[in-house]
DNA sequence: TAAAATTTGTTATAATATAACATTATGTAA
DNA sequence: TTACATAATGTTATATTATAACAAATTTTA
């Protein structure tokens, strides 16, 4: 089963839930929604989430402690993430902008240090809420 | 007292602690360290933190749930923040880069939406850990 | 098929954060 | 200066987010 799609049973259940959601899901919301599928305890959820984040299937929205499915084909191993977050309706969109990614991926600070990973969160009002 | 520096008693105590720290401080670490000054309960800490964040005196490092003093003179009302985070020693530095700030502040997504605020976290190895 | 690595199940608990309410202090404007 | 509004404080309780620790089962690899 693992080879087929690279996701274990619990990982698949949890990924499916996040993937079909139109909004970021929190760990305990996920837990509540998968209990009927036999996932009963927080560690089961967090372990799946950890793995899904590591493999780039989902991203964590740090400012919300919530998880979204990756919508960008280019981030299998997710090291360059950007999101827009609506401060009114809480909607989150992943931003896939090649120029932005290039700019930030090649950014080096004043000491000349480059970074292998970044996460960017924009805040404002989405189209609907404006 | 409030007029002098715009910070209340608890806010000042907590700001001083964060400001003199060389690393990000977590809320309960702060709580532990200010109990001798009469701040005894989490809400007192969180309220001061909230206010200090709002006024730009400190920033929250979202990926660490920890707080640092603002080192950038240009972010009194903090709407454009960037940090470098060492994945080995956990050191955090605020990045003050006018070009970066300008680039991100004027960024507009594919729908043409602009954002009024952003937070960027870079991850990698600091000079020492490299 | 045996060993290694990964995933799962489970209980308990740690760490982070807020609700709610009473009180006091400070700022503002008549 | 009084009264009104706003902000800050103190307090108890509780909600939310996340991990430790250990036993067992499954899958992968060699």
**Same domain, residue pair B65 and B85:** no
Which positions in chain B have a beta carbon within 8 angstroms of at least one beta carbon in chain A?
62-63, 84, 93, 95, 97, 100, 103-104, 107, 109-111, 113-124, 126-127
Residues of B in contact with A95 (CB under 8 A): 109
Q: How many domains does chain B have?
A: 2
User: B9-23 pLDDT, tens per residue?
Assistant: 999 999 999 999 999
pLDDT, tens digit, 9 for 90 and up, residues B25-40:
999 999 999 999 999 9
Supply the range of the domain harboring residue A100: 80-124
Same-domain status, A60 and A34: yes
Whole-number average pLDDT of chain A: 92
The alpha carbon of residue A9 is apart from the nearest alpha carbon of chain B, in Å, by: 28
Give the span between the Cα atoms of A83 and A81, in whole angstroms. Answer: 7
Average of per-residue pLDDT across B60-81: 87
Residues A62 and A85 in one domain: no
Query: Which helix (H) or strand (E) segment is B18 a member of?
Result: helix B9-20
Q: Are residues A119 and A87 in the same domain?
A: yes
State how far the Cα of A58 lies from the Cα of A107, in Å rounded to an integer.
24
Query: What is the arithmetic mean of pLDDT over A61-89?
Result: 89
Residues A6 and A29 in one domain: yes
Span B78-103, mean pLDDT? 94
> Is A90 in the same domain as A46?
no
Q: Specify the nucleotide whose C1' lies closest to residue A8 (CA).
A: C7
Residue A107 included in any domain: yes
């Amino acid at each position: 089963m693992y080879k087929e799609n690279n996701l274990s049973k619990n990982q698949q259940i949890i990924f499916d839930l996040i993937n079909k959601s139109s909004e970021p899901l929190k760990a305990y919301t996920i837990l509540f929604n998968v209990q009927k599928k036999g996932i009963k305890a927080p560690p089961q959820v967090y372990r799946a989430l950890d793995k899904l984040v590591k493999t780039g299937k989902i991203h964590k929205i740090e400012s919300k402690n919530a998880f979204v499915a990756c919508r960008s084909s280019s981030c299998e191993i997710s090291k360059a993430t950007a999101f827009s977050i609506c401060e009114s309706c809480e909607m989150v969109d992943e931003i896939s902008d090649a120029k932005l990614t290039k700019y930030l991926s090649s950014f080096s600070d004043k000491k000349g240090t480059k970074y292998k990973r970044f996460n960017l969160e924009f805040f404002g009002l989405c189209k609907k809420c404006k």
